Structure 1
Amino acid sequence: MKHLLQTLKIGINENIYVKDPESSDLGKRIIENGIVMIHEMGFESFTFKKLGDRIGSNESSIYRYFENKHKLLLYLTSWYWGWLEYQLVFATNGISDPGTKLETGIAIITKSIEEDSSFSHINEVLLNKIVINEYSKSYLTKEVDKENKEGYFAIYKRLVHRIRDMIREVDGTYSYPSSLASTVIEGALHQNFLSEHFASMTDCNETVETTQYFTNLVFNSLNKT
């Protein structure tokens, strides 16, 4: 899988960016340093002016790639979900047993993230932390319906549908496969947030992994006979 990922280009909706950041060294530096800075200072405090100072470039040059920082966040989170989707597809491809396939899928979605050397300019560990802390800010906006119609969240929705289909393979009689799938993906982010900031509100910790909780939740919800 590692060798295949080295040639992988994750397709992001072209309306999210003005110029593809993967097409130039400057664009890749915008992505690389944008991830680091959003992780360091939070999305609210992050600005293109600060990013320009960090990379030694004019603020205007960043606007040639993204029209605003909201679009940059959409790009980063879309990239993350696309990267996770490819891992899910590779890890479950060829697994014939529906239960094993679903269990593997849950593990991919909920596991701790390790840095992937296939993408030298993207720190997946920091990007995961950004998704945990900032992803909701990409869609809790007045423009969400318009952006959804334009396909900005297509990769995320596709990932939910993949988990949904795995749930259906295990139990075709279960009435809420989409809700359960989105609960796993969104819930994994929330449980990780709670474990870091509100530890008394979750059972996920150093000894109980998020994967254990969601595997238990999903399979206890399904009729596996």
Structure 2
Amino acid sequence: MEPYLFRFSANIKTDIFLKDPETSQIGTAIINQSIDLINEIGFEEFNFKKLSARIGTTEATIYRYFENKHKLLLYITSWYWCWVEYQLVLHNTNITDPQVQLKNTIKVLATPTAQHYADVNLQNLFNIICSESCKSYLIKNVDDLNKYGVYFNYKKIVSIISVIIKLINPTYMYPHMLVTTIIEGIHNQKYFAEHLPALTDKTDAPEYLINFYYQLTIDTINKSLK
């Protein structure tokens, strides 16, 4: 069992949901079962009819919590970024060396830190993040959604890691660009390794991916010091 310093609670913008799923048993079932179902069949094939059959409830019940399946995906991805923030606190508390903080951070981004938390299958969630999370923002109405702060949790993670990069090299000019390159690159490489191995140097060892992105980041940061 993983040791936790305090109980994890996801701080998710209320504009994403109609009713907070964490306030009821059926709400948590919607989240947990949707993670498992999307992981099994993909976001395109996923719908509330299939989810309601899996849970043993009605579509109308699910619609009381989420306006549509895209809002549900936004909730799931936001929950994940809240979890990443929580893990960064656990892994980097009392660590003063920013390079060690960076290595810990990339490890958190590249691998699930546990298999389950409560009833959430973290491995399935991580799979969704790698293969489906871009569908939460690569959409036509992204600007309208952004006005309501629905991408707050992702932006917060980028800001947190950008601070670490600036601690390593205060003069580095592109911390946010580098961080999003790392995050999206990790997701792409994990996806490629599983489905399109010709596009990556496939390996089953998580340390391979961690070491690659750590070295890439350090080399990029240090180049501007010369």
- Which residue in the other structure is 1:26 paired with? 26
- Which residue in the other structure is 1:2 paired with? 3
Q: Percent identity?
A: 41
Q: Is the 8 A contact 1:36 1:126 kept in 2?
A: yes
String of CA shifts for 1:104-157, please: whole Å, max 9, x gaps: 2222222345313xx322111101101111111111111101111211010101
Distance 2:105 2:37 in 1: 31
- Which residue in the other structure is 1:186 paired with? 184
> Does residue 210 of structure 1 match 2:209?
yes
Distance 1:177 1:204 in 2: 28
> Does residue 93 of structure 1 match 2:90?
no
Distance 1:140 1:99 in 2: 32
- Which residue in the other structure is 1:136 paired with? 134
Q: Is the 8 A contact 1:31 1:121 kept in 2?
A: no
Q: Tell me the TM-score normalised to structure 1 length.
A: 0.93
Q: Is the 8 A contact 2:112 2:122 kept in 1?
A: no
- Which residue in the other structure is 1:172 paired with? 170
Distance 2:188 2:19 in 1: 32
Q: Helix, strand or coil: the match of 1:67?
A: coil
Q: Is the 8 A contact 2:5 2:90 kept in 1?
A: no
| Structure 1: runs of 5 or more not aligned | none
Partner AA of 1:16 in structure 2 = I
Partner AA of 2:140 in structure 1 = K
Q: Is the 8 A contact 2:110 2:186 kept in 1?
A: yes
Distance 1:108 1:172 in 2: 23
Q: Is the 8 A contact 1:204 1:213 kept in 2?
A: no
Distance 2:167 2:58 in 1: 52
String of CA shifts for 1:59-115, please: whole Å, max 9, x gaps: 101101111100000000100111011101221121111222222222222234531
Distance 1:11 1:158 in 2: 12
Distance 1:14 1:164 in 2: 26
Partner AA of 1:144 in structure 2 = V
Distance 2:167 2:43 in 1: 39
- Which residue in the other structure is 1:221 paired with? 220
Q: Helix, strand or coil: the match of 1:8?
A: coil
Mean Cα displacement is larger for which, 107-116 or 76-85? 107-116
Q: Tell me the TM-score normalised to structure 2 length.
A: 0.93
Deviation at 1:3, TM superposition (A): 3.3
String of CA shifts for 1:144-200, please: whole Å, max 9, x gaps: 011112110101011011111100100112221111111111111011011111112
Deviation at 1:206, TM superposition (A): 2.2
Deviation at 1:53, TM superposition (A): 1.1
For residues 43-62 of structure 1, the aligned pairs below 5 Å read 43-62=43-62
Distance 2:14 2:112 in 1: 29
Aligned residues: 222
> Does residue 105 of structure 1 match 2:105?
yes
| Structure 2: runs of 5 or more not aligned | none
